[in-house]
Amino acid sequence: MAKEKSAIFIIFGGSGDLAHRKLYPALYRLYKAGILKDHFAVIGTARRPWSDDYFRETVVTSLEDLDDDKQKMEDFAKHFFYQSHNVNDSEHYIALKELAAKLDDQFEAGHNRVYYMAIAPRFFGTVAEHINSEGLKTEDGFNRLVIEKPFGRDLASASELNDDLSKAFPENEIYRIDHYLGKKMIQEIPNIRLKNPKFEKALNNKYVSNIQVTLGESLGVEDRGGYYETAGVLRDMVQNHIMQIIGSIAMDTPEELTAKAIHKVKTDLFSSLDVLEPEEVNKSFVRGQYDTDRLGKLNAYRDEDNVDDNSNIETYAAGKLEFNDERWSGVPFYVRSGKRMPAKSSRIDIVFNDKVSEFGVNPNTTVSLLIEPEEGHSILVNGIDYQSSNQDLIKFPEDKTYFDNAREAYESLIIDILSGDRVHFTLWDELQSTWKYIDVIREKWDSEDTDFPNYLSGTMGPEAADTLLERDGNSWVWDD
Ligand code: NAD
């Protein structure tokens, strides 16, 4: 039986999209699993003057696709309370503190607090500062601050944000969410490596030809054009999700599977990233922006709502990263992420060289770890389900349904937050290295004109992304 956790959650931005689409459904699943039961309450805060009853109605509505057990949903919603709040008003934090203390007594929540920033990033620092100055933090329970992406726009703004947060919360109380780290396949990578000694032994520059990480999306920017104009795929996907995925597959073997040991090897890996010189950027990275599709039916990016007619924001990026550590020196890591690709596909492809035959497998074997579209999931060896591939480079897990019962990413990350386990969260040291790497590319791109749009919707991106690999005698494993 799952062990019940206790806490008062204060969700800043409790009326917003993230809260309703991701957080409340995740909390409900934990409620159904008995991990949240009697000893928790959720305070939603936002500017609007909502009543508790109205807030609860919105919470129940956000669960409708999950369940038809109306009674269970209503019992769950009784743990929800609303507090109207403006981020700059000190009085509101005092009211929040009093409400949290009252609910803590009522639900016997053990003086534990989770402060969740489901609010615009420009407010993160202000809210953290007020939590501290108005004395919201408790003495005899835990205090954990959860931060959503984006964590800064570049190294300078990320450092400024981190300084602001650090005044209120020590690093070990900060949980920076990268929801890819909540996905089952990514979480399992250290375990897969541990349980497959041959695979682990082959995971280095002696046996690996190249590693490819793809986060492809079939959708365009939809109604998020305004946000996308401030981001671009380099900031939105590469700096965070792609880097963290590379961290999981390429980090050195940790001494043990603890947060401390795993973060140590990840931090070491990122600090060995070979930062490009500005003049190398366009040799190692390719950018793209989607046009209409072959039939001329879909909007080009520049025709989307809230997008500038001459926008130079990239909706596609592909690049070659290199590490100058002993394990990976000489091995290219090809990464790409794009909108309006032919299908949604998140995957890691590890292409071995001919020396891998020392392990009794075919030369040039490819192992693919498929992350999405289904949450989980498959491991392929040369494109075939590893269990029927007759290759024993990788053999985990035994049970074919292993990934099927995986918890959804937010559900899994909230359990970690309640348990004080930071293994699946991003540390500041890692972020500094990855921003430093991305900043050079961003600055170069921002200083130059482009010939956008340069790929049709529904295609694999600009041709230059293929040339990038062909120059090294390689090609993308996932190709339409
Ligand atoms: P949203 O605009 O839907 O919600 C923002 C919330 O902040 C609302 O509840 C709003 O009332 C509140 N708010 C705005 N101004 C306020 C003020 N002055 N004082 C108090 N409250 C105020 O935004 P969202 O999509 O839910 O995103 C929230 C955060 O999560 C952002 O940092 C975003 O980058 C991040 N995020 C969102 C998603 C997603 O899927 N929506 C995914 C990843 C990260």
Residue nearest to atom 21 of ligand 1 (CA): 46
Atom number, ligand 1, closest to the C-alpha of residue 124: 32
CB-based contacts of 44, cutoff 8 Å, min separation 6: 11, 14, 15, 19, 50, 55, 59, 80, 81, 82, 83
Token pair in block for residue 55? 């807030």
Quote the CA–CA distance of 319 and 205 in Å, as a whole number: 19
Q: At what angle do helices 409-419 and 24-32 cross, to 10 degrees?
A: 70
Entry pTM: 0.95
Pocket probe mutation, ligand 1, options 117, 119, 230, max atoms within 8 Å of Cβ:
119
Pick from 154, 151, 156: nearest CA to 178: 151
Q: What's residue 238's pLDDT?
A: 98
Atom number, ligand 1, closest to the C-alpha of residue 87: 19
What's the CA-to-centroid distance between 286 and ligand 1, angstroms? 31
Residue nearest to atom 30 of ligand 1 (CA): 118
CB-CB neighbours of 384 under 10 Å: 12
Q: What's residue 376's pLDDT?
A: 57
Per-residue model confidence as pLDDT tens for the chain (480 residues): 569 999 999 999 999 999 999 999 999 999 999 999 999 999 999 999 999 999 999 999 999 999 889 999 999 999 999 999 899 999 999 999 999 999 999 999 999 999 999 999 999 999 999 999 999 999 999 999 999 999 999 999 999 999 999 999 999 999 999 999 999 999 999 999 999 999 999 999 999 999 999 999 999 999 999 999 999 999 999 999 999 999 999 999 999 989 999 999 999 999 999 999 999 999 999 999 999 999 999 999 999 999 999 999 999 999 999 999 999 999 999 999 999 999 999 999 999 999 999 998 999 999 999 998 876 568 888 888 887 777 788 887 777 677 777 788 999 999 999 999 999 999 999 999 999 999 999 999 999 999 999 999 999 999 999 999 999 999 999 997
What's the CA-to-centroid distance between 407 and ligand 1, angstroms? 24
What's the CA-to-centroid distance between 224 and ligand 1, angstroms? 13
Residues recognised as catalytic:
241
Q: How far is CA 158 from the centre of its chain?
A: 17
What's the CA-to-centroid distance between 210 and ligand 1, angstroms? 39
CB-based contacts of 148, cutoff 8 Å, min separation 6: 18, 117, 118, 121, 177
What's the CA-to-centroid distance between 275 and ligand 1, angstroms? 33
Pocket probe mutation, ligand 1, options 18, 50, 62, 222, max atoms within 8 Å of Cβ:
18
Residue nearest to atom 37 of ligand 1 (CA): 18
What's the CA-to-centroid distance between 456 and ligand 1, angstroms? 32
Atom number, ligand 1, closest to the C-alpha of residue 179: 43
Residue nearest to atom 38 of ligand 1 (CA): 18
Token pair in block for residue 43? 């305070």
Name all residues whose Cβ lies below 6 A of ligand 1.
Answer: 13-19, 46-47, 85-87, 118-121, 148-150
| Helix (H), strand (E) counts: the chain | 17, 14
Q: What's residue 159's pLDDT?
A: 97
Looking at residue 298, the DSSP 8-state letter turns out to be S
Length of the chain as a residue count? 480
Sheet containing 143-147: order of strands: 80-84, 36-46, 5-12, 113-117, 143-147, 174-176
Pocket probe mutation, ligand 1, options 17, 176, 236, max atoms within 8 Å of Cβ:
17
